[in-house]
Amino acid sequence: MALFIWRKTPSHNRNWKIEHSRLPVAAVDGDRVQIQHVRNFRYDAAGRVVRPTYEDRTYSLAELESVWYGISHFGEYGLAHTFLSFGFEDGRYLAVSIEARQEMGEGYSPIQGMLRRYELIYVIGDERDIIGLRTHIRQERVYLYPLTLSADMARILFTDMLRIADGIRLTPRFYHTVTDNCTVGIVRHARQISALRRFFDYRVLLPGYSDRLGYAYGFIPDEQPLAKLREAVLIHPEGFGVDDPDFHDRIRGR
């Protein structure tokens, strides 16, 4: 059995769920960033796709002004999904979500995720899709933290994420629940955090606790106790919809 698992090879040629059907295509040319297949889906109350829209977008690195760290709790004991969102001067936001790419009829299993069951995908999408799916449709508890990164660090992080996403398009690779998951994919860019901690710290293995790690290293603002900060960045989806014109401000409590 073990030999069979390790002989498996990753592939892009499978019957993918519609949410994972397209890989993003990213190109950085100086200050200009072009991204194809930016996901901007809409869903019904049961989470079924009702508007499968992909978009091509262009951004300027000079206009990147903020980075946000999201934690979406879907279970107890630290079970959660993490993602990043990048904010630009023109008011647009672009989310990057590292996920286990699933085939039609598949569900996510952490055990299967350690057995080369899923390929890896970087979903690049609009916040209304990536975040709205979790806050308004799945009704998960979602926190959205501003990160304390310099402009140079933000640009490096953004272009590194795009480079990896496009690299996966060219060369498929497996997702792994422990060594190549949503949080490890983000934390690996924080060079202040040791490789040992990236893979064995409980705050990485259980992403629901990852804000403690970011807070300890100063990536998450530490001007107030973490418990109080959590209250401030918790998204309250009541009273506005995914297509609200002020969606990006409302999820930030503005």
pLDDT tens per residue across span 50-94: 999 999 999 999 999 999 999 999 988 889 999 999 999 999 999
> How many Cβ atoms from other residues are within 10 Å of residue 108's Cβ?
15
Q: Is the pLDDT of residue 1 over 80?
A: no
226-236 mean pLDDT? 97
> Of all residues in the chain, what percent carry a pLDDT higher than 90?
80
The pLDDT assigned to 228 comes to: 97
Distance in angstroms (rounded) separating the CA atoms of residues 228 and 101: 35
Q: Is the pLDDT of residue 190 over 50?
A: yes
The domain containing residue 184 runs over which residues?
A: 2-250
Q: Is the pLDDT of residue 253 over 60?
A: yes
Among the listed residues 233, 147, 208, 174, the one whose alpha carbon sits nearest the alpha carbon of residue 12: 174
pLDDT band at 192, cuts 50/70/90?
Answer: low
Distance in angstroms (rounded) separating the CA atoms of residues 77 and 250: 28
Distance in angstroms (rounded) separating the CA atoms of residues 197 and 139: 31
Q: Is the pLDDT of residue 114 over 50?
A: yes
pLDDT band at 195, cuts 50/70/90?
Answer: low
Weakest mean pLDDT among 102-106, 157-161, 178-182, 226-230: 178-182
Domain count, the chain: 1
The pLDDT assigned to 245 comes to: 96
The pLDDT assigned to 178 comes to: 87
